[in-house]
Structure 1
Amino acid sequence: MPVLKKNCSAEFLDDGQYSKNGILRYERIFGHTFVSTGGLATTQEFTKRLALKPGMKVLDIGCGTGGSAFFLARKFGVHVLGVDLSSNMLSIAEDHKLEMEPEVQERESFKKLDATKATFPDEHFDLMYSRDAIMHIAEKEKLYSNIFKWLKPGGQVLVSEYIHGKNHPNHPQEYIDYIIDRGYQLLTASDYGDVLKKVGFTDVHAEDITGDFVEVLKKEMTKFRGMKDEFIQEFSEKDYNDLMGGWEIKVVRCNAGDQGWGLFRAVKPGNSS
């Protein structure tokens, strides 16, 4: 299956899928401050799996407009560094930060940073968290090798990602074109889990949650239809049709076995302090 084998640039993201208009459109579906599937609801569900204590340090890779970072800081009392390549995402995240209560603002920072080129002290973070973002990065083994070093012993990984479905590698051209257009660098769920194991993580859970993805997409479409007139007034009918069409084709791809969604958890061996 021919796909691009390079990481997405900041310009590619800001000028394409993550233009400011595109981001604000996404927030209308996912919810205020969120640009990942399911918004607050999936964030609450996924983070039930985390063992976090106040004062711990979290690295949020591909933090988007800050939704998960704000939630983690508020819910668990942790300090979150959100990094993203998209200047548009970070600009909106900083605006949202001003809306937050002072104690959340104090625990929150955002930085424009290429995660594949980042340097952090060894054993610095307690959690690396990412929602539907590392799928833009080709060099996953290199990135996770660095994350392994940055995490403290006992440190956790929690990541959701688009993945290849059961048809891989026998996908139709429409799907291949979509992957190339978005600059996605996807793996199957099992291959993703193998990357985590290869760099040293243990207690690796690589779940294919495509069924959950489809259900969330359907709920989001129902919600979106209910705000059609309001959305068109704020944006445009073309914006509405583009987004609705995008959600509908995702469901088709998932049901056909091409596209999917994965949830990945892992632990760095050792005892946390």
Structure 2
Amino acid sequence: MSAVMDERYSRKVALRHERLYGHGYQGPGSEAVFDRLAARLDLRQGLSVLDVGSGLGGDCLRLAEKFGVAVVGLDAAPDMTGICLERYRNSPIKGVTFTTGDVRTTALLEPASFDVVWTRDCGAFWSEQEKADIWGRLHQALRPDGQVLITDYCKGPAESTEFDNIMDAWGQHMMLPSRYIEILTAAGFTDIVLSDRTEDLLNSMLEGRELLLTQKELFMQDLSSAEYDNLLDRWNKKIGFARDGLLVWTVLAARRP
């Protein structure tokens, strides 16, 4: 991973962001949001799911518990996988495996080895060419009639040099949602359905900011004043970008024919 990614997904930062998004999550993690996403797929007992960028494992556990699917959580951050393994040892939920690896190179992606690819919010860290290459690999890893669920941060219709510069500094590669459809189509996916769910992202970030403000003393237990101010500033910037139409939280569902 890059230095930006190493820091962003270190144990300390991941657990801090989990306080803002909810247990097991690094992005919108309410059960209502999960249920709306899961409803876009035909999930049923016996299917095998690959969660790419599984983070702190929130979706992996919900998928296994609610639908009886077997889930492999793949994440490039060793700290993330470590936390999941620590927690899962004490979980009554069965059928989940966590592993550290890079989707670009992992040997997990054998041909026709999964029924579902599920990925939440990690694609923004891949360049446009990496997205094309990765979705080509994932297409091959799916069985015929395999399903895909993606959430990701995309560029909205508005223009802002400040937004572009900040996304570059954060290591995120923004593109229009329509370009995502083109990449998935070129990789061989069909039945692609795109939805703008920025409302869910905005609601989650507003709840997180409220926690930052009302539980400041708790956050200050492991943050300096400068770190706290930087975290609050980052949250305010993301809220502003979403409200101004610069940042779009995109949901896509697709199939491998």
After TM superposition, the score normalised by the length of structure 1 is 0.86
CA shift, 1:237, in A, is 4.3
Give distance in 1, aligned partners of 2:73 and 2:29. Answer: 19
Which of 134, 138, 153 matches 1:147?
A: 138
* Residues matched between the structures, number: 254
**Aligned counterpart, 1:80:** 71
Answer yes or no: is 1:116 the counterpart of 2:104.
yes
Secondary structure in 2 aligned to 1:233?
A: coil
Q: Is the 8 A contact 2:33 2:200 kept in 1?
A: no
Which of 119, 123, 130 matches 1:130?
A: 119
Secondary structure in 2 aligned to 1:180?
A: helix
Q: Is the 8 A contact 2:126 2:173 kept in 1?
A: yes
- What's the RMSD between the two structures over aligned residues? 1.9
Q: Is the 8 A contact 2:46 2:69 kept in 1?
A: yes
Q: Deviations over 1:33-90 (max 9, x none)?
A: 2112234442232112221111211001011111111111111111111111111111
Q: Is the 8 A contact 2:147 2:254 kept in 1?
A: yes
Q: Deviations over 1:185-212 (max 9, x none)?
A: 2221111111111211111012222233
**Aligned counterpart, 1:4:** none
**Aligned counterpart, 1:20:** 11
CA shift, 1:12, in A, is 4.2
After TM superposition, the score normalised by the length of structure 2 is 0.91
Q: Deviations over 1:134-156 (max 9, x none)?
A: 21112111111111111111211
CA shift, 1:115, in A, is 0.4
Between 1:129-138 and 1:36-45, the stretch displaced more is 36-45
Between 1:139-148 and 1:116-125, the stretch displaced more is 116-125
Stretches of structure 1 that go unaligned for 5 or more consecutive residues are: 1-8
Between 1:92-101 and 1:223-232, the stretch displaced more is 223-232
Q: Is the 8 A contact 1:175 1:258 kept in 2?
A: yes
Counterpart residue type for residue 111 of structure 1: T
Secondary structure in 2 aligned to 1:261?
A: strand
Answer yes or no: is 1:56 the counterpart of 2:41.
no
Which of 29, 34, 54 matches 1:43?
A: 34
Give distance in 1, aligned partners of 2:231 and 2:36. Answer: 25
CA shift, 1:233, in A, is 3.1
Q: Deviations over 1:85-110 (max 9, x none)?
A: 11111111111212311xx2x41111
Secondary structure in 2 aligned to 1:91?
A: helix
Q: Deviations over 1:226-250 (max 9, x none)?
A: 3223332354544443332222111
Give distance in 1, aligned partners of 2:207 and 2:4. Answer: 30
Alignment of 1:154-165 (within 5 A): 154-165=145-156
Relative to structure 1, the CA distance from residue 267 to residue 188 in structure 2 (aligned partners, 3 Å threshold; closer, same or farther) is same
Q: Is the 8 A contact 1:10 1:87 kept in 2?
A: no
**Aligned counterpart, 1:3:** none
Give distance in 2, aligned partners of 1:49 and 1:136. Answer: 24
**Aligned counterpart, 1:261:** 249
Relative to structure 1, the CA distance from residue 45 to residue 99 in structure 2 (aligned partners, 3 Å threshold; closer, same or farther) is farther
Counterpart residue type for residue 245 of structure 1: D
Relative to structure 1, the CA distance from residue 62 to residue 69 in structure 2 (aligned partners, 3 Å threshold; closer, same or farther) is same
Give distance in 1, aligned partners of 2:228 and 2:29. Answer: 18
Q: Is the 8 A contact 2:28 2:200 kept in 1?
A: no
Q: Is the 8 A contact 1:192 1:206 kept in 2?
A: no
Relative to structure 1, the CA distance from residue 99 to residue 242 in structure 2 (aligned partners, 3 Å threshold; closer, same or farther) is farther
**Aligned counterpart, 1:178:** 166
Q: Deviations over 1:151-182 (max 9, x none)?
A: 11121110110100112xx431x222222222
